[in-house]
Structure 1
Amino acid sequence: MIKDGMVDNEYGDEDVWSMEPYEALMFAEQDGDVVATRIANETSIASDVSYITSVVKRLLITKRSLLRLIPVAAIHPRRPNTKVVEATSGGECFLRCLQMDLERIIDRYPDIGRFNRYFGIFYDAVMRDVPLANDSMPLATAARSEWLPFGDRDFFSDDVLELFVKYSNQAIERIRQEGGDEAFQNWLLRIQRQPRENEERLLSLIDACLSVNHHLLVLRFDLGYSQFYCDRTLAGEQAVSYEEMREHRVALRRFLKRHLKNRLPAGACKGLAFAIKMEFGLDKQHHFHVIVILNGNVVRKDVGITEMICNYWKSEITKGKGGACNCNQRTYQKRGIGSIRRGEHEKLKVLRETVVPYIAKADFYGKMAKPDSHRTFWPSHPPKIEAIPKGRKRMAINRVELQ
């Protein structure tokens, strides 16, 4: 199972750290339309921050040393070293983080370390000045400019290699120490509290829907904006502002609550429920994850209905600036959306344990791009459960006939 960009069974002090390649869902203009495309960009700011975050998470649950110097018996006499750096799998991951351009990240998002403390404690640890032979500079700067950019990281004197290994291990221990401090643990509790509450509310919505309809039609889609309109340097005044994005969200909620039923067969919205989650991505700015639950006894074409809602977002709400991804159109090994009956326990399990947590998951950067008082999660009210009269049904008596 993949979690936080890593394979679950690789956790602990095992030698292999398996990092999942970074992939992002982006919206781009193509032939007059805004289409969703999955892009694997290993050099983007979002990719670098995601990788560092995953490495730090792993560091905080391991204890072993990741780097050391070992002597080498057979080595070319012209080389300046008699030792080489031996790195565990985790050590290689840490060294890759040291090669990333951290200043590029900070220039774009100066407060990112305050909102993503995993990145923050890494940055604080590796940007401390360390004394070198003729100067002192941040470890990350020295590693990126003087140690790691060359093809042979061991082509230095043993003294220099010892310093780099020493300072790297000290940075790793500093990350582990700060990750165990009360301040970091309190931040972690805060960042996890809201997702848990959102998840509980969404699970309650699903239970309420199942009480009204034994057959659900679950729609899942992601909404966002063309990359062009996310970049003010490209789009200028046409770029989507935060206030405009809020207006679009209000219009979407109004459509789902009041007008969706007019586009579907009668009874399709009996037991209707939905939830909208706003997130901020370092690569795609503001976007939404949406789930809609309809009466599966009346409607079955989940792909078509989802596409209709997505098109309404693109053409009517955002006037061509928006893009959408129809998740119901995709193929999943284990499916927790689409047609789900009350007795289909495996589908319900996937819905509750995979789909819902994904929608409700923690978003490090949402607060970085909105006022503190603004929400990021909007669930609908639970559907009304009609009370069933108790007792035996009685036939009406026509008093005229009894006379």
Structure 2
Amino acid sequence: MYRRAYLWASDGTRLITDQQTATFAVKQIVDMMGKLMRSKAPLFEVDSRHQLSFVRRTTLGEAFLLSLKSDLGAISKHFPAHRHSPYCTLFKRFSAPVRFLFSGNKLFVEDVPRVNAAIEKMRAFAKGPALGGAMRNLRRCEHENGKASRELLLRLREGYSKLLAIRLDFGYYSNLSDKGRIFAQSVSLKEAQQHRDRLLSYLRRGPLSEHLAGYIWRLEYGLEKGHHYHVAIFYNGQALAKDISIADMIGHYWRQTVTKGRGMFFSCNKNKEMYERSGIGMVDRSDEEKWEAVHEALRYLTKQDLYLRFRPGPRIRTFGVGGPY
């Protein structure tokens, strides 16, 4: 996950946002808390040598202290319409009394008992029914979306000897205030849904529709980016190639026709070098390594629910699968 994301203003100015820093902090906290709940030993101990006392910390203790430095206020600010992971909520609640004790990279000997006591409270609460129920609900949603994605990919692999995989992000140009604050355009959820429907209609009925194999989309929201979509599109690789050109064609349709110039897009296919294992472009049915990369790329679209789950309202879909066609 990148710590910063690049946005664009309508005049072409590139804006650097800290929204991804907040996303990274959430993942860091949730991953650390998952390990903490599975551990039993103290993270910090006081040791003495040559009549001097010092704090001995475990690797997990280092991760805990790093999480204490996270800006929890910025996380809430950037994701006001999200349900945060119960692990993140648990950390925020029980770390509050000790957050002020840690400054820089130093934990004082006299503060070790208070920090360890806070950690034990987290472990004790995690054994109760409340946290377990909340985590099961999150995992159920992630499992259902993940199952739908895996089933689509399985049917596509069985039905096509080659697939052309395209990954696009669709959003809207951001604004920059006189004070340098980045804020999203005023695009309502209803408008964003209408734009999504028009885009999907273009995929199903547009110039390349006869070669469409399937697609997956996910709706997200951020303070600086507003509503935006992560979309994976699959075409029959026996009929089409030139994934970069096709991605640009779809992106320009979103920007110019669907959103009337208000929208912007990012083509992952044009930036394959950004990814260590690329699950985009041409994918042959027999290429196990490439197919694993495809699955890995799409796991992000479902697993993110375990960290931050966008909740726009009841009965509003934030995830969808289409195909195979």
TM class by shorter chain equals 0.7 to 0.9
Q: 1:72 to 1:292 in 2, by over 3 A?
A: same
1:165 offset after TM fit, Å? Answer: 0.9
Say yes or no: does 1:149 pair with 2:103.
yes
Q: 1:209 to 1:317 in 2, by over 3 A?
A: same
Aligned match of 1:93 in 59, 63, 72? 63
Q: Larger Rg: 1 or 2?
A: 1
| Residues 278, 377 of structure 1: 8 Å contact kept | yes
Aligned match of 1:371 in 298, 307, 313? 313
| Residues 172, 185 of structure 2: 8 Å contact kept | no
Task: Give SS of 1:336's match.
Answer: coil
In structure 2, the gaps of 5 or more residues are none
Residue identity over aligned pairs, in percent, reads: 27
| Residues 98, 114 of structure 2: 8 Å contact kept | yes
Task: Give SS of 2:215's match.
Answer: strand
| Residues 46, 283 of structure 1: 8 Å contact kept | no
Aligned match of 2:9 in 21, 29, 33? 29
Amino acid at match of 1:314: R
- Which residue matches 1:382? 324
- Paired residue total: 320
| Residues 5, 19 of structure 2: 8 Å contact kept | no
- Which residue matches 2:98? 139
Task: Give SS of 1:169's match.
Answer: helix
Aligned match of 1:251 in 174, 198, 210? 198
Aligned match of 1:345 in 285, 288, 298? 288
Amino acid at match of 2:210: C
User: How many angstroms apart in 2 are the aligned matches of 1:236 and 1:29?
Assistant: 10
User: How many angstroms apart in 1 are the aligned matches of 2:278 and 2:79?
Assistant: 37
1:302 offset after TM fit, Å? Answer: 0.8
- Which residue matches 2:240? 299
| Residues 275, 291 of structure 1: 8 Å contact kept | yes
Task: Give SS of 1:371's match.
Answer: coil
Amino acid at match of 1:288: Y
Q: 1:150 to 1:184 in 2, by over 3 A?
A: closer
Aligned match of 1:46 in 15, 23, 28? 23
Aligned match of 1:83 in 53, 58, 61? 53
Amino acid at match of 1:345: E
Task: Give SS of 2:210's match.
Answer: coil
Measured against aligned partners, the alpha-carbon deviations of 1:57-81 in whole angstroms (never above 9, x if no partner) come to: 221222221112223426xxxxxxx
| Residues 45, 56 of structure 2: 8 Å contact kept | yes
- Which residue matches 2:134? 187
Aligned match of 2:32 in 55, 65, 76? 55
Aligned match of 1:287 in 207, 210, 228? 228
In structure 1, the gaps of 5 or more residues are 6-21, 75-81, 128-137, 155-160, 384-403
Say yes or no: does 1:175 pair with 2:155.
no
| Residues 219, 292 of structure 1: 8 Å contact kept | yes
1:121 offset after TM fit, Å? Answer: 0.5
| Residues 184, 226 of structure 2: 8 Å contact kept | no
Aligned match of 2:47 in 43, 64, 70? 70
**Structure number with higher relative contact order (C-alpha < 8 Å, ≥ 6 residues apart):** 2
| Residues 280, 365 of structure 1: 8 Å contact kept | no
User: How many angstroms apart in 2 are the aligned matches of 1:251 and 1:184?
Assistant: 40
User: How many angstroms apart in 1 are the aligned matches of 2:79 and 2:283?
Assistant: 42
Measured against aligned partners, the alpha-carbon deviations of 1:232-288 in whole angstroms (never above 9, x if no partner) come to: x968895223222222212221221222xx2x4xxx733521121113357644322
- Which residue matches 2:86? 117
1:120 offset after TM fit, Å? Answer: 0.5
| Residues 275, 290 of structure 1: 8 Å contact kept | yes
1:318 offset after TM fit, Å? Answer: 2.5
Q: 1:151 to 1:371 in 2, by over 3 A?
A: closer
User: How many angstroms apart in 2 are the aligned matches of 1:56 and 1:282?
Assistant: 26
Q: 1:235 to 1:327 in 2, by over 3 A?
A: closer
Matches within 5 A, 1:266-277: 269-270=210-211, 272-277=213-218
1:110 offset after TM fit, Å? Answer: 7.1
CA RMSD of aligned residues (A): 3.3
1:340 offset after TM fit, Å? Answer: 1.7
Task: Give SS of 1:219's match.
Answer: strand
Aligned match of 1:328 in 269, 272, 282? 269
